[in-house]
Structure 1
Amino acid sequence: MSSEYLRMIEALRKRYKTVLYERDWLGLPIVVLKAGGREEPPVLVTAGASAVEAAGVYAALELVMQVDVERAVYILPSRDPTGLHGAVYVLSEMLGEEVHVDTLSELRELLKSRGAEVVIDTPTLFLSMLKGVGFAFSGSSREGAYGTLRQLEEKVVKGGLIESLGEVRILIPSQMPNVEGVGLLDRLMTVMVCEEGILTYEHIGGEKVIPEVEVLRRFIQGREMGMVIDLHEGVDRGFYVLLSEEPLSGESIIIDLVLDQVARYGMQLATQSALGESGLRALSDGVGVGKGRCGLIDFTVERSYSFAFFTGMNAPLEQRVKAHLTACISALNAYAIARL
């Protein structure tokens, strides 16, 4: 099966240099494209660590075509391409037949009818294993895939199921029908159960990581990056910049320009109170500091300028994509000034 994303990747590869090409567990491409010029050190922009945060992926694809700086810019549009394709695509590929499901109930029945082993079936969590891959969802969660992840941590880790499950990949449908570009089953969050607990694509600095995360880690370790930007989405409407530590003077220059341009575009900035309520230390509207929220910038903070940009999922998709694109272009332009 092809898809709009795969067709776009192949079209971009004909125009831009491919500096990394690997395949994920389902055979879909993990691709890093090079845009910009030859100036070093390069900038790295990634998106889609959680495939339910789709706006960053769309923005990264657009960014490849809009970069207009002399610095080399590496762009990884989707860190989890299988998750980006959603439940119907993945199940069709796994089963070798075209399947159609529109609801969680239909998904449950499809899995059972194809011989999936049901591990947990309660009002708060359904978990089954099909061909060595887990599918988990929670019909009662108001937080979509994130709520299901918390249920998995409660039932699997605290419930003592890690040993019986072994090392296994689990796919969690987005379960966000009211979020444009995400939907109920259109995206999947990928996690992995192992002895250490439940790993996500945010776990990049530990001894054990998901294989697709190891691809990115090796890519970073083999290069000296000047700036790293990871694109994410939050649960409200506001945009903000996340840092792992207090910003350096050069980082402050970049942040100021990013926030100015995003605000000029018309995207609301997350307030200090909202950032504080989410557990971050707010430096101002639109700027929060906190470790453990973005594994990539925690991993790169000691070696490069490192930012995560968050848009609010409650905003329209076009606005979220445009905010990310505006922020990235602003950061690339400001980086040249910050290095002076």
Structure 2
Amino acid sequence: MPSDTPDPVVRRDAANPPTTKDIQRWRRHLANERAEAAVYLDLADRRTGEEREILLALAHAEGRHEAHWRNLLGDHVGMPKRGDLRTRMLGLFARRFGSVFVLALMQRAEKRSPYASDIDATDAMMADEHIHEEVVRALATRGRNRLSGTFRAAVFGANDGLVSNLALILGFAGSGVDNEVVLLAGLAGLLAGALSMGAGEYISVRSQRELLDASTPSTETRDAVPKLDVQENELALVYRARGMSAEDAEAQAAEVLRSHNYDDSAAARSSSDTHEAVGTGIRAAAASFGFFASGAVIPVLPYLLGLQGLAAIVTACILVGLALLTTGVIVGLLSGGPPVKRALRQLAIGYGAAGATYLLGLGFGTTIG
């Protein structure tokens, strides 16, 4: 638990008073600490139980850091300043959404703490920021696990729809066929791809859940324990198969046989958590179908609106590019990675695939012509 005592402040003496830049920097740190504490409090209002307590403890720790800068400022504290734009946006997201998205953003904010290079921040404050990053990472991981199955299907479905249908449309457009043919190809690709993605995702998740079911401890084992041969004690083999040493397995089995209390609740909870992370087949299939279709319709829009030729191609590429950048940023933020790098990577891959197909279409068009 964080201490209630503020971090010690090293005050500057009269011979080395703080400069105007020092005061501005301290006030900026003070404002950001206040804003980050407010974000944690807003998130705590949307949580219950242990998660709420953890978030309140993080807000309390930010309050200790706030006290450090206030003590340094002394009479220079002035009117409260607003935090930087990034921290204020986090506060807005926390009040509006309060989701894993905000926790992922806070994880990156804690990681980018400026205290490592600030001579006026204490070692304890720098250590706190590293710990805060790990705490927020763990909280965000809980949320990621809850949505991972459906979220994975949604993101992959949207990106597949964007890239595959743009490539299909550009391939037909490059061959020089009429707009009606390009539009028909785009709509056929949308429907066929969405159905294929949905069916494939359902089979994948369903199969994975069936494998997990096969690995879940049987509830009938508990009823069989009192009937076991105490002399043979084959129950020890169960614990050895789960990774216990031979001696520990024998001791655990002997205790269970003595008390007839075979408790597999931990294994059952682990299996339940894994099932939750995988998601359900129908939910994943619906998400995959819907998001593939929503992605695949974007490159078709210019043709549906009556654009033709180069204007339709350029418009489709711009719309798909913006969508790829958006999904890349979202994936980067939720995964705790650099969002700009993820966005540019997805854009390069998408445009690369579409460009290659367009060149193939040009080649086929020239050959046929």
Q: What is the TM-score with the length of structure 2 in the denominator? A: 0.23
Query: Of Structure 1 and Structure 2, which has the larger fraction of its residues in helix?
Result: 2
Higher relative contact order (CA closer than 8 Å, sequence separation 6+): 2
Q: Which one has a larger percent strand, Structure 1 or Structure 2? A: 1
